[in-house]
Every structure is written in C-alpha cells, then in structure tokens.
Amino acid sequence: MATTTQKDYYATLGVKKTATAEDIRKAFRKLARKYHPDVNPGDKKAEEKFKEISEANDILSDEKKRKVYDQLGFYSDQIDPAQAEAYARQQNMGGQPPVDFGGFDFSGFQGGAGQQTGSSGPGSTGWSSFKDIFSGIFSGQQQQGRPRGPEPGTDLEYQVTVDFWTAIRGGQARLTVHRQEVCPTCHGKASTGGPQTCPECNGSGQVTQMGGRMKFNIPCPRCNGTGRISNACPTCHGEGVVDRSENVEFRIKPGTRDGQRIRLQGKGNAGRNGGSTGDLYLIVRTGTHPVFTRQGDDIHITVPVTVPEASLGAKVDVPTIDGRAQLKIPPGTQSGQKLRMRDRGVESASNTGQRGDQIVTVEVIVPTLQDERSREIMRELAKLNNQDPRVQLFDKL
C-alpha cells in the first residue's frame, strides 16, 4: 500500500512554527512574487515551487487547518481540530508503544487478553474511547469514492498602464494575459479513456500516512478513494485545463482614475469539472503629462505671468485639456496664488455628466533688466511704492 509523503509546510514558506498569521502572509507574498508563473513563463521548476508554497499557505493561513496540521504533522479535511487534538493527546500518553491505527480499526484493542477495564486503563479512557472519537471521520467507501464536483476557476489580477490622454478621453487597450483554459482535447474531463487501477493505492482506494508514531489509512488523493483512475489526457496531463496566453482587449472609460479596477467577467482561469470561469480584474495605472497634473477629476497647472500682468490684472491664454482658454488675472495677484477654472477638468467616469475644475497656480516672473532705462523705471517704481513687504515678519516677533 502506498504511503504519502509528509510535508513540512513551515520549511516550505521559510517560517518558524511559532510564526504569526501576518508572518505567514508576508512570507507567502514574497515567495509568490518570486515564483509566480507570470514572472517565470515556461519555467516548470518555478511552477512546481509556486504550487508547493500555495499548498503550504492554504494550510497554514487557515486557523483550523493549521491546528490539525500542528497536531498530526499532516492535514486531512476529514479530521477536525478537536479530533486532531484528541489524537495528539492520545499519542503523547506515557508508556504507550507505537501503534498502527490502520483505517482507524480499533477492534484489536477490545476484548483481547490483558485488556484493562478500570478507570485508568485503555479500555475506559484509551483505545476504545479513541475509536469513538474517530468513528465519524470516514463514512464509508461510497462517500470516499464520490466524484469531485465542479470547481470554479480562480480570479486573475493584472496591472495595466494607459497614457494620460487615454485615461481622460477613454479608448481601447490591449493586454496579454496568461490564464488557464479548458483543455481542447478532453474538454475539461481530464481523461481520454476508460478507468484503470490506481497506481498510487493499487486499487484499494486508501493510502497510509504517518502521524508521528501512528499510522493512518486515508482515501487515496489520486483516485479520490475509488481505486480506479481514467487515462490522463495527454494534452493537459489530467488537469482538465491548459495554460494559454491571450490578447485581451478592453475599454477604458473616459475619466478613468489611477488605481481604478476594471472587471472582465469570465476572463479568469477556467473551472474544473464543469465549474464556472473566474474573472479578470485590471488595476489601471495612468501615465503622467509634462504640463498637466491630475488629482481626481481636477487638473492642476502652473502658469507664469509678468509683473505688470500680476500688478494691473490681465486676461491671459492658458492651456486646458480641451485646448486654449482665457483666464482672468485679478489686479494684485501674488505668486503662488491659485485660481479656479470651473468645469475645465476631467469628465467623471461615473457617468453623472459632472466635470472637475482646472486649478491654476500663478507664478510671477521677475524680469531681468537689460538696459539702464529699464532699471531707471524700476527705481522710480520702487520710490512710488515704498512699502516694506517684510514688516509683518518683525511684527510677529
């Protein structure tokens, strides 16, 4: 009878057994970024490593699964944490020899010679009660051999960068996505022929798994406890899905913001055994512009003006995302002052018909005087306007 390999999930993620849930999450994310198939296309070793760390994370990130694993050294979805704890407690009973609990059959410990029936013997609190604890773990070969039901496909998430103008005005974009599709050879059935004896369990439907000094018989994971398997599809190797790259076209709505998520239904990984296909989520990153800066639906821009324009007031041409527009500079405008141009910003992506504003930061440009006549005029201007702009600084001391 085949024996499954005991796995050290903590070593797989590179964490200690005392690691917190946050430690496990960080370790998995770090390794996932390194070994993800999208980062290592065509690398089978990286793909297998990604599967290993995903399996370890699935067990250790789930409180109940982790408790079972910590108690027994392996995980089975047919054992709950309370049963695992009782099992570990029984395993640690003083003076007990190594025991083979083949298929959880405890008949050998009941009614035999030398069985103790007192309050401290195994007949009362030991093996017979231990049998009761595990009597509901397996409900028979019929349940073990039940065919696996449909499994929905997983969602995918990609980042996509679009230029500044596409995000504002909308348009079409394209992205190459690596996803799992239903196998075209077996149409998702994972097999192409009649059933054969499972080589993992030799047709018994069970495999032996070690838990410390004890031994469990569990349903064979390869044949799901049936003892029979079908000929694996040569295209998908029995997975029912194949990896494919696909060019996906999608629409960018006008006014799309940086970080906005777009959902493409049914563009994720294909399901197994007739399960539904997952979705594709796109996180949009918008490009920058040398003149405009976007904040939400508002456009920010810095516009230089001359000293006379700022002092006397003027109407100046400024660029907007719609082209040139006139801006009124009030008399006495200071450098750094912000002026608002209403409804000159980005159209909202929420289809409300609203638009943001354009916020203009005024930058007063002091001229470089090239001749004596200009300097003379500036000196005359200083005499006529001799207020000290720094006096308020000293008043506050």
pLDDT surpasses 70 at 142: no
Q: Does any domain span residue 140?
A: yes
- In this predicted structure, which of 110-119, 304-313, 372-381 has the lowest mean pLDDT? 110-119
Average pLDDT for 24-33: 91
Q: Does any domain span residue 173?
A: yes
Per-residue confidence (pLDDT) for residue 217, from 0 to 100? 77
Per-residue confidence (pLDDT) for residue 9, from 0 to 100? 92
Average pLDDT for 262-272: 91
Per-residue confidence (pLDDT) for residue 60, from 0 to 100? 93
Distance CA 310, CA 386 (A): 18
- In this predicted structure, which of 75-84, 115-124, 247-256 has the lowest mean pLDDT? 115-124
Q: Does any domain span residue 216?
A: no
Q: Does any domain span residue 213?
A: no
Per-residue confidence (pLDDT) for residue 257, from 0 to 100? 93
Domain shared by 16 and 115, yes or no: yes
Phi, psi values for residue 173, rounded to 5°: -135, 160
pLDDT, tens digit, for every residue of 347-395?
998 877 799 999 999 999 999 998 999 999 999 988 888 888 888 888 7
Domain shared by 51 and 131, yes or no: yes
If one compares 152 and 329, the residue with the highest pLDDT of the two is 329
Q: Does any domain span residue 391?
A: yes
Host domain of residue 347: 293-395
3-state secondary structure the chain: CCECCCCCHHHHHCCCCCCCHHHHHHHHHHHHHHHCCCCCCCCHHHHHHHHHHHHHHHHHCCHHHHHHHHHHCCCCCCCCHHHHHHHHHHHCCCCCCCCEEHHHCCHHHCCCCCCCCCCCCHHHHCHHHHHHHHCCCCCCHHHHCCCCCCECCCCEEEEEEECHHHHHHCEEEEEEEEEEEECCCCCCCCEEEEEEECCCCCCCCEEEEEECCEEEEEECCCCCCCCEEEEECCCCCCCCEEEEEEEEEEEECCCCCCCCEEEECCCCCCCECCCCCCCEEEEEEECCCCCCEEECCEEEEEEEEEHHHHHHCEEEEEEECCEEEEEEECCCCCCCCEEEECCCCCECCCCCCCECCEEEEEEEECCCCCCHHHHHHHHHHHHHCCCCCCHHHHHCC
- In this predicted structure, which of 19-28, 157-166, 171-180, 231-240 has the lowest mean pLDDT? 231-240
Per-residue confidence (pLDDT) for residue 6, from 0 to 100? 65
Q: Does any domain span residue 233?
A: no
Domain shared by 248 and 369, yes or no: no
CATH of the domain at 121: 1.10.287.110
Domain shared by 255 and 326, yes or no: no
pLDDT surpasses 70 at 255: yes
Our count of domains for the chain comes to: 3
Residue 114 β-bridge partners: none
The answer to whether 250 touches 172, Cβ cutoff 8 Å, is yes
The answer to whether 319 touches 293, Cβ cutoff 8 Å, is no
Domain shared by 13 and 140, yes or no: yes
Domain shared by 250 and 353, yes or no: no
pLDDT surpasses 80 at 396: no
Confidence of residue 328 (pLDDT cuts 50, 70, 90): very high
- In this predicted structure, which of 101-105, 237-241, 244-248 has the lowest mean pLDDT? 101-105
Per-residue confidence (pLDDT) for residue 4, from 0 to 100? 42
Q: Does any domain span residue 3?
A: no
pLDDT surpasses 60 at 101: no
Confidence of residue 100 (pLDDT cuts 50, 70, 90): very low
Domain shared by 297 and 273, yes or no: no
The CA-atom distances, in angstroms, between 55 and each of 59, 62, 75 are: 7, 11, 11
Q: Global pTM?
A: 0.53
- In this predicted structure, which of 312-321, 337-346, 351-360 has the lowest mean pLDDT? 351-360
Alpha-carbon torsion, ordered 293, 294, 299, 303, to 10 deg: -10
pLDDT surpasses 90 at 161: yes
Per-residue confidence (pLDDT) for residue 112, from 0 to 100? 38
- In this predicted structure, which of 54-63, 199-208, 318-327 has the lowest mean pLDDT? 199-208
CATH of the domain at 265: 2.60.260.20
Percent of the chain with pLDDT over 90: 45
Instruction: Compute the mean pLDDT over every residue in the chain, rounded to the nearest whole number.
Output: 80
Per-residue confidence (pLDDT) for residue 295, from 0 to 100? 94
Confidence of residue 120 (pLDDT cuts 50, 70, 90): very low
Highest mean pLDDT among 197-211, 223-237, 266-280: 266-280
- In this predicted structure, which of 216-220, 247-251, 270-274, 374-378 has the lowest mean pLDDT? 216-220
pLDDT surpasses 90 at 346: yes
If one compares 245 and 84, the residue with the highest pLDDT of the two is 245
